[in-house]
Chain A
Amino acid sequence: MMKCKQATQMLSEKLDRPLSNKEKINLAMHTAICSPCRQFGRQMETLRELSKSYTKAKEPEEK
């Protein structure tokens, strides 16, 4: 059974390479029962979206 340590690494690598079917199944089995890792997965997606909006963000007002 996959542990949180491996699961979080998979959730990060998912953003950089396609996971194998075996990895996907193991990860899905883990996240089905592990709410912190589910949060972590969502947050990885959020980090990506935030990085994309970095250059679109409202610039701080120069005072």
Chain B
Amino acid sequence: MTNANISVEMAPSEAESIFQDVAFTKALRTQMLKFAKLQVRDSQLAEDAVQEAMLSAYQHIDRFARQAAFKTWVFSILKNKLIDLLRKEKRHTAASQLEEGPNLSGDALIEHLFEENGHWQQDERPKKWDQPDHDVENDDFWRIFDACLEALPAKYGRLFMMREFLEMDTPEICHNEEVSVSSLNVTLYRARLRLRECLEDHWFQKETS
């Protein structure tokens, strides 16, 4: 049948209107690109992944009449594309070869946070975070969150994002990145320590400090 491919044109108009909403599409694209670039540190590859994800989404647009559902779905396509990219990229830059970053290959951060006896340094004790769920709606919060992610050493950021953003499991990350389970666990621990510290310093305790 020659018209097998025209189902897109016959999609319900309310679904098509998702793509016709220029402001929505543009903002979504920007957000996807930012997300992709954080993980695949190559602008062209990131652009391609976003483009492909948008195209796949467009081809099945008739299933999505609501912008919110559409957005969740297009991001799940993008995540799969990024996982594929990271798998292919393995031989070039497995995390095992990435820099740990200054002051971090050693235990400088741990030493900074904890006393020699293994207890928290007085000033570094975690404080209560007020209403983090409210911050999800706050653009300023996400700017800080991005800055904190970008400040992570490359290896930490990559493994953290594989685990938390792409929701890959431990065995798969270890296999892909050629790191041992214990090394992955330690790296994730340190990434979270740093991220926690950064968010607390720059967001959650900002008013009171």
Q: Answer yes or no: are A and B bound together in one complex.
A: yes
Q: Which residues of A contact B (CB under 8 A)?
A: 3-6, 8-9, 12-13, 15-17, 36-37, 39-40, 42-44, 46-62
Q: Which of B121-161 contact A (CB under 8 A)?
A: 125-129, 132-133, 136-137, 139, 142-143, 145
- Looking across the interface, which residue of chain A has its beta carbon closest to that of B139? A60
Query: Which residue of B79, B133, B143, B196 has the most chain A CB atoms within 10 A of its CB atom?
Result: B196
Interface residues of chain A: helix, strand, loop or mixed (majority)? helix
> Nearest Cβ in chain A — how far from B18, in angstroms?
15
Residues of A with C-beta under 8 A to B45: none
Q: Which residues of B contact A (CB under 8 A)?
A: 23, 26-28, 30-31, 35, 71-72, 75, 79, 110, 114, 117-120, 125-129, 132-133, 136-137, 139, 142-143, 145, 163-165, 170, 181, 184-186, 188-189, 192-193, 195-196, 199-200
Residues of A with C-beta under 8 A to B185: 9, 12-13, 16-17
Q: Determine if A4 and B164 form an interchain contact, defined as CB atoms under 8 angstroms apart.
A: no
Out of B31, B136, B189, B200, which one reaches A8, CB within 8 Å? B189
Q: Determine if A54 and B127 form an interchain contact, defined as CB atoms under 8 angstroms apart.
A: no
Q: Determine if B118 and A5 form an interchain contact, defined as CB atoms under 8 angstroms apart.
A: yes
Q: Determine if B145 and A3 form an interchain contact, defined as CB atoms under 8 angstroms apart.
A: no
Q: Determine if A56 and B72 form an interchain contact, defined as CB atoms under 8 angstroms apart.
A: yes
Do A58 and B119 form a contact, CB below 8 Å, given A16-B163, A39-B126? Answer: no
Q: Determine if B139 and A5 form an interchain contact, defined as CB atoms under 8 angstroms apart.
A: no
Residues of B with C-beta under 8 A to A49: 132-133
Bound-state CA distance A52–B119 (Å) is: 30
Residues of B with C-beta under 8 A to A17: 170, 181, 185
Query: Which residue of A6, A60, A62 has the most chain B CB atoms within 10 A of its CB atom?
Result: A60
Out of B79, B119, B192, which one reaches A44, CB within 8 Å? B192
Sample 26 A-B pairs with CB under 8 A, ordered by A number.
A3-B114, A6-B118, A9-B186, A12-B188, A12-B189, A12-B192, A16-B188, A36-B126, A39-B125, A40-B196, A43-B129, A44-B192, A46-B129, A47-B164, A47-B196, A50-B132, A50-B136, A51-B165, A52-B164, A54-B145, A55-B35, A57-B137, A57-B142, A59-B28, A60-B139, A62-B23
